[in-house]
Every structure is written in C-alpha cells, then in structure tokens.
Amino acid sequence: MTTMSARRLAGIIGTGPWASPANESVAEAVVRAISDGRVPVGIRLPSERELAAGIGVSRTTTARVYARLREHGFIRTRRGSGSVVEIPAVPGGRIDHLLSPVGPGEGLIDLTCTATTAPARVREAFAAALDALPAYLPGTGYYPSGIPALRELVADRFTARGAPTHPDEILITAGALGGAAVGLRALLTPPARVLIESPSYPNAIATIEAAGGRGVSYPLEIDSAGRHFWDTSAMGEVMRSNRVRSAYLIPDFHNPTGALLPEAQRPALAEELERSAVVPVFDESLVELGLDDHPAPTPMAALVPDSITVGSTSKIFWGGLRIGWMRIPRHRFDAVASARLALDLGAPVLEQLAAIELLRDHDAIIGDFRRRLREARDGLAAAVRAHCPDWQVVVPSGGMALWVRLPEERSGALTAAAARHGLALVSGPNFAPAGGLDGWIRLPYTVAQAELDQVAPRLAAAWQDALDRRAPQRQERARIVA
C-alpha cells in the first residue's frame, strides 16, 4: 500500500497558519482534498508525528485531526497499517466507472454524454461513401489496419501538427476508446499499474480495469479559482513510487475538466515519463476543440517517441461515426495489431469511406463546429452563474463540457434530484479513479440550443430539491467540509 508523504500532503492542503481551532481547520482541508480527489481513496496518510512536522502544528493537533476524520468516515486506522483514506457512501450517484447515453425520454435533457447531433456534411459524406463502396465490394472487406487512403490522411494530419508520421504507423479502430483498449492490452501484463489522472473519463477507467490493469491515480492540482493543472514533478513521483508501467493521459482539453497542458510543461512531462520508463497512451479525442484561438498544442507523440496516441472522428464530426485511430511506434506495431485482432477484425468499410470524405473537408467543418461550441459554452456558463450563483464555474479554453464545483459535496444527491426535473446528469464520483469528487458535476454544452436554454433553471430547481432532502447527518458532515 502506498503512503502519501507529509511533504506531498502539505503541498496539497497547505502549511497554515491555521484558523483556531487548528484541528478542525486541518481536518476540513484534508476532507476537501479527499472530496476533490487530490488525496486518493486507499492511500495511507503519513503518521501523526510526520504530518505535525510537515504542516507546523503539534502532535496533539494531528491526533485530533485523525480522530475527527475517523469519526466522519474519511479514514480507517488499524494498528500496524496506519490511517487509510476512505470515503463515506455517496447517495444517488452511479459509481461503476462506465457511462452510456441515457437515450430518448419524454422531456428529458441528456447531459450524460459529450456528443452532438450530426452536421449536414455527415449525410453528404455517407452519400459519397456509398458511391465509392462498389470499388471495395470485390474484396473480402477486411482491412485490419484500415483503408490505406484513410491511414494516409490521418498520418498527414499528425505530420502537419508537428509529429512526423508514416501511414504504416497508423491503425484504424472503432473509436478512440477502442484504440485505448487495444493499446493497453498490448502494453500491459496484468496486474501492471497504469497512471491515470483524477478526475478522468469514466469509460477509460473501466477500460483499464478490463485490460487487467490497476489504476494509480494522479490527482490534478486545483488553484484558488477552481482551475485544474498538472504538476509534472508530482506525476513523476507517483509513477516511480508506484512502479507504474503505462499511463492513460488526456493532456489536450482534458475530460472532464477542460484543462490544457501548457506548451512549456510538455517537455517536462515527456522527461518524467522517460525517467520512469512509462509507455503512455495519450487520448487526443478533444485536441481539435480549442475554442479560444490559441495555437494548436504540440502533439505529445512528438516529444515521447515510445508512446501511443488515440484519436477519433466521434467528437469532431458525429458520435455515430465509430471511426478512430492509433499512432503507434514502429517497433510496437505488430504487438498492437495482434492485440487488436483479439477484439475485432477491422472497422466497417462504409464508415471509413465516410471518414475519408469528412477529413478531406476537415477545416471547414471544424471551424463552424468550434464557433457553435464556443457560443454554447459561454451561454451555459453565464446561465449557470445566474441561476446558481454559489457554484464555482470555470470556463475551459476548449472541450465540450463545464466542470463545476458545488458549494457542498452533494453531486450524487444532485444527480438523483435532477432526474426528477427532467435532467440526466453524471455524478462527480464517476470521474474519480480512486474515490472522491462528490463536490463536482460535469455539464456538457453539446445539446441543442432549445434544450441548453432549459439546463440552468432545471439545475437550480434540482439543487434546491437536493438541499431540501438533506439528512441531518449529511448536514453535520457538510460543516466539517465547509
């Protein structure tokens, strides 16, 4: 079991000065860090003596801190095993780390999925694909690595972005998640440990588990404004102390936070991965959805040669177009291709042909899509701030959703209440690889405008509903967190 050092915990909760009584102030800071996912469930906290020295308080104070955490169900202490982080049960939130769209319902607005309806160009692309299909019918229809023309287009886009790529390094898959599953299966010898950010994409958490991996959480840092960011040196410490062998990372408009790894930090992350001998899978599903006109980020593949990158048409064109890709180092291609054949024999030909048509018209389609997303993002952020003024709304520079901090750890209760108000949400703990995050909610801005206009009023009504149903013991727990 991994122990969090006093230095690391102090870096997360601070070193004071602590408001009196100090034991309550420190306990509140630790609970907030656990709830935010910055202190993962299952990790062992430093001893009372070590923590006292690390944050500048007495041993008596830290003893009272740990007693308070035990009383409220945030740690379990056993003789000889130390104090291990737990988290109280979260009502109303599904925490199986696997998301699927809710589906149509009378008056229901589905915010469980970051996906949009298809633009008109998709229909035209499928019509063109049907015209091109007869040329492929005399063959078997199996293209395990993908249609050559599509592989060439994807490789050219990597090259244009600064990661020189040959078509032979591209493998076409059924979506980015399918590519991540293939990559992890090829890289892992169960029960190998895989670094994953917290929060992260729930289906990726489930994919790591399905591949036989053991997720090791790196909690993203949070600044005073609620913005998430990476501490690459801390990531390196987590990798080496846990003997991580692979990683699943989303450096580009991270899901769900929308954070973008700064250009200046990318070489530092590459250095930490190399130093730790970690082979990462980078998910670039959202890389093209920068909404604030900043320069396109350098692909991590250009900085980490021994890495796998996955991407997809699903976010930039349409979720129903299940075409993705993998960029794979040549020396790993055969192993990855073999792992892929254990799952399927290739992506559908018709969909690959449609993807070719769309990628040829990529710039025009994506430009309009970004404009619509930018308007939706700004509109939803303003509406949530107006209807829920005590929520902390961070406007991301890209991606497809807001990641909002609630004034209380009641994301699960909000999700349950929202269903009664015609709103399908995903509670924050679903995004937590190792527990926590009941104080956060993801709000996609991808639904039609008529539905988007109703989201904030329904959220406000659902939040009041959740507060009205609050049990006495939850009110007491809220006081320790507040």
Q: Domain segments of the chain: what residues?
A: 6-85, 109-115+364-481, 134-360
Q: Distance between CA 330 and CA 102 in Å, rounded?
A: 40
Q: Is the fold of 109-115+364-481 the same as that of 134-360?
A: no
Nearest to 38 by CA among 234, 292, 246: 234
> Is pTM beyond 0.75 here?
yes
Q: Over the stretch 288-324, which tens digit does the pLDDT of each residue have?
A: 999 998 888 999 999 999 999 999 999 999 988 999 9
Q: State the fold for domain 6-85.
A: Arc Repressor Mutant, subunit A (1.10.10)
How many of the other CB atoms lie within 10 Å of CB of 438? 30
pLDDT on residue 311: 96
pLDDT at 99: 60
Please give the angle made by the CA atoms of 422, 118 and 396, to the nearest 5 degrees. Answer: 65
pLDDT band at 95, cuts 50/70/90? Answer: low
> What distance in Å separates the CA atoms of residue 237 and residue 276, rounded to the nearest whole number?
9
Gap between the Cα atoms of 285 and 289, Å rounded: 9
Q: Which residue has the higher pLDDT, 102 or 116?
A: 116
Residue 347: count other Cβ atoms within 10 Å of its Cβ.
25
- Beta bridge partners, 209, equal none
Question: What tens digit of pLDDT does each residue of 199-233 get?
Answer: 999 999 988 988 889 999 999 999 888 899 999 99
Q: Which residue has the tokens 């899509």?
A: 369
To the nearest whole number, what is the mean pLDDT of the chain?
Answer: 90
User: Does the pLDDT at position 94 exceed 80?
Assistant: no
Q: How far apart are CA 49 and CA 57, in angstroms?
A: 10
Give me the long-range contacts of 429-432 (CB less than 8 A, separation at least 24). 429/90, 429/93, 429/95, 430/93, 430/94, 430/95, 430/96, 430/97, 430/99, 430/202, 431/198, 431/199, 431/200, 431/201, 431/202, 431/256, 432/37, 432/41, 432/95, 432/198, 432/199, 432/217
Overall average pLDDT of the 49-58 stretch:
93
pLDDT > 90: percent of the chain: 70
Helix, strand, or coil here: 107? coil
**Whether pLDDT at 393 is above 50:** yes
Cα 229 to Cα 386: distance, rounded to the nearest angstrom = 26
- 134-360 under CATH 3.40.640.10, yes or no: yes
The H or E element that residue 177 is part of is helix 175-187
Q: Which two tokens stand for residue 470?
A: 């609050």
Residue 374 token pair = 């930018």
Res. 473 pLDDT band, cuts 50 70 90: very low
Cα 348 from chain centroid (whole Å)? 28
Going by pLDDT thresholds of 50, 70 and 90, the confidence category of residue 482 is: very low
CA 187 to chain CA centroid, Å, is 21
pLDDT at 344 over 60: yes
CA separation for the pair 109, 100 (Å, rounded):
14
Compare 272 and 68 and report the one with higher pLDDT: 272
Does residue 472 surpass a pLDDT of 90?
A: no
325: pLDDT strictly greater than 80: yes
pLDDT in tens, 407-428: 998 998 999 899 999 999 999 9
**119 has pLDDT over 50:** yes
Mean of the pLDDT values across residues 163-172? 97
Domain 109-115+364-481 = CATH 3.90.1150.10? yes
